[in-house]
Amino acid sequence: MDRKEIFGRIEQVLSEQLGIPAEQITEEADLREDLGMDSLDLVELVSALEDEVGMRVEQNQLEGIETVGHVITLTLDLVAQLTTASAAEKPESAS
């Protein structure tokens, strides 16, 4: 998954979850101020992200998450961790 794919998925989730037009959702949009999210909305977004990447998001990873761009960066970090963990588990192939 790249940044554009993740943004598209987050845009879709937020649009459906908050009932706002996708055009209103930008990387710079503040989750609380611009999109009107509350703590329950954030929990629902995190749950959708966990389902998307197949990893649990820890509470401390949410510190400092204020914008859609922050959510995208967090998701990219989770995907990178998952990819690294998967690569470490694969046995080396014999040549």
| Residues annotated as part of the active site | 38
Strand-pairing partners, residue 67, are 30
Strand-pairing partners, residue 17, are none
Q: Which of 38, 39, 50 is nearest to 74 (CA)?
A: 50
Token couple for 73? 């960066």
Question: Is 32 strand, coil or helix?
Answer: coil
Rounded Cα distance between 86 and 24, Å, is 36
Question: Is 44 strand, coil or helix?
Answer: helix
